[in-house]
Chains A and B, each alone.
Chain A
Amino acid sequence: MEIKKGVAVSPGITIAKSLIIDSEDYRIPRRTIKPTQRMIEIQRVRNAFKTAADELAQLKAEQKTIEQRKIKDIFAVHLSFLRDKNLRRKITDLIHSELVTAEYAVSTTLREIASIFTKVKDAYISERAADIYDIERRLLKQLLGGKREDVERLTEEVAVVARNLSPTQTAGFDKKFVKGLATDAGGRTSHTAIVARSLGIPAVVALEDLTETISVGDIVIIDGNRGIVVVNPDDETMRQYEEYSHEFTELEHRLDAIKEEPAVTRDGVRITLLANIEFPDEAEVVLQKGGEGIGLYRTEFLFLNRPSDPTEEDHYQAYAETVRVFKHRPVIIRTVDLGADKYTQSKRFVREPNPFLGLRSIRFCLQNLTMFKTQLRAILRASVLGEVKIMFPLITHLQELMQTKMILRDVMEDLDEESIAYNRDIKIGVMIETPSAALTAFTIARDVDFFSIGTNDLVQYTLAVDRGNELVSTLYSSVDPAVLRLIRTVIQDAHKAQIELSVCGEMASEPEYIMLLLGMGVRTISLTPPMIPEIKQIIRSVTIEDCNNVARVVLGMNSERQISSYLRDAARKILPEAF
Chain B
Amino acid sequence: MQADEDTLEKVVFETEVEIKNADGLHMRPAMQFVDVANQFECDITVSNNENSVDGKSIMQMSMLAATCGTRLKIKAEGADAQQAIDALSELVEKKHFDEPTPGDPKKR
A residues bordering B, Cβ < 8 Å? Answer: 73-74, 76-77, 80-81, 84-87, 90, 113, 116-117, 120, 122, 124-125, 128, 131
Contact = CB atoms under 8 A, between A and B. Distances in A.
Contact of A81 (B24, B56, B59): B59
Contacts of A122: 24, 65, 67
Given A113-B63, A116-B63, A125-B67, A131 B27 contact: yes
9 contacts: A77-B28, A81-B58, A84-B34, A84-B58, A86-B60, A87-B58, A117-B63, A122-B65, A128-B26
A128 B60 CA distance: 14
Interface string B21-37: 00111111011001100
A84 B23 CA distance: 23
Looking at B27, B34, B35, B58, which has the most chain A CB atoms within 10 Å of its CB? B27
B95 to A, nearest CB: 16
B62 interface: yes
A86 B31 contact: no
Nearest to B38: A83
Given A85-B57, A124-B26, 17 more contacts: A73-B28, A77-B30, A81-B58, A84-B59, A86-B54, A86-B57, A86-B59, A87-B58, A90-B59, A113-B63, A117-B65, A122-B67, A124-B23, A125-B26, A125-B65, A128-B26, A131-B27
A116 B58 CA distance: 14
Looking at A117, A120, A125, which has the most chain B CB atoms within 10 Å of its CB? A125
Interface residues of B, number: 20
Given A116-B63, A122-B24, A124-B26, A77 B58 contact: yes
Contacts of A90: 59
Contacts of B24: 122, 124-125
Contacts of B57: 84-87
Contacts of A113: 59, 63
A90 B62 CA distance: 15
B34 A80 contact: yes
A73 to B, nearest CB: 5
Given A86-B54, A86-B57, A125-B26, A80 B35 contact: yes
* A-B interface, 10 closest residue pairs, ranked by CB to CB distance from nearest: A86-B57, A87-B59, A120-B65, A80-B31, A80-B58, A77-B27, A124-B23, A122-B67, A77-B31, A125-B65
A76 B35 CA distance: 11
Nearest to B57: A86
Contact of B62 (A73, A74, A85, A128): A128
B23 to A, nearest CB: 5
B34 to A, nearest CB: 6
Looking at B24, B26, B56, which has the most chain A CB atoms within 10 Å of its CB? B26
Nearest to B67: A122
Contacts of A84: 34, 57-59
Nearest to A83: B58
Contacts of B54: 86
Nearest to B28: A73
A128 B59 contact: no
B31 A76 contact: yes
B22 to A, nearest CB: 9
B67 A128 contact: no
A124 B26 CA distance: 7
A125 B22 CA distance: 12
Contacts of A124: 23-24, 26
A113 B64 CA distance: 11
Contacts of B28: 73, 76-77
Contacts of B34: 80, 84
A74 B31 CA distance: 10
Nearest to B23: A124
A90 B65 CA distance: 19
Contacts of A86: 54, 56-57, 59-60
A128 to B, nearest CB: 5
